[in-house]
Amino acid sequence: MSEAVYGEEVMGRITHGMLRLSTAMRSQAWGWAEGAGLTPTQGEILVLLMQRKTALRLGEIARQTALTAATTSDAVSTLESKGLIEKRRAVDDGRALAVKLTGKGRTAAKRAALWPNFLQSAAASLPIEEQGVLYRSLLKMIRELEVKTHIPAHRMCLSCEHFEPLGEAGKDGKAARKTTRKARAVAPLHHCNALNIDYSDTGVRLDCAAWELGSEATQKKNWKIFIQPA
Ligand code: SF4
């Protein structure tokens, strides 16, 4: 297929590159899923339940995976019939049902979380400063897709009440005075008031168990500081 299908400008080339990554992801996900006797969607649900460490309602699973209610319900039923998840009453509403992993499901979820390792090794081949730039760019694109409601909102640091951008100088005023790309990738530019840790751009979490939704004003301030070019 000609690159011109997506345009000769840089946006078209970025789109083409991402679509090639998605082809590799689809192929790797199905390769793993067929070996495990599941589908990639079922694997994604297992990993989500493992990440959250708590029972989730079907509606929340559908929202987080961007699946329809019917597809989610089918996938959950199959996982239950395989003994990988179990249904229970939701903690916050005794009339509602939530699902959680069984011991067997946790083992399957750990294996399901491994199929993207091929992406990790590709990213690890980049120099640290390029890893930092790539991650920052990904976070900004994810934010843009969230705002346009193409993907569900993430429980990421930048929308969290506990996030405190320390700025270029870092906590002690000298961590990254000269904000080179490498410095941004490793210097403690941010602070978490809940976990009491300082971290760099590459330490920004995308799905955190301690996350709490920040106010609109907090989120705007966080993003305004974060998107400043390195
Ligand atoms: S580490 Fe977790 S709790 Fe702390 S700022 Fe990030 S999302 Fe919030």
CA–CA separation, 53 and 38 (whole Å): 21
As for ligand 1, residues whose beta carbon falls within 6 Å of it are 157, 160, 162-163, 192, 194-195, 205, 208, 210-211
Q: What is the pLDDT of residues 166-207, one digit of tens each?
A: 765 555 544 444 456 666 767 788 999 999 999 988 999 999
Q: What is the pLDDT of residues 90-100, one digit of tens each?
A: 877 778 889 99
List where CATH 1.10.10.10 sits in the chain.
Answer: 3-112
Q: Which fold has domain 3-112?
A: Arc Repressor Mutant, subunit A (1.10.10)
Say which residue, 229 or 137, is predicted with more confidence.
137
Contacts of 224 (CB under 8 A, 6+ apart): none
Count Cβ atoms within 10 A of the Cβ of residue 177 and give its class: 0-12 exposed, 13-18 middle, 19 or more buried: exposed
Taking the model in full, what pTM does it have?
A: 0.84
Give me ligand 1 centre to Cα 195, in Å: 7
Closest C-alpha to ligand 1, atom 8 = 211
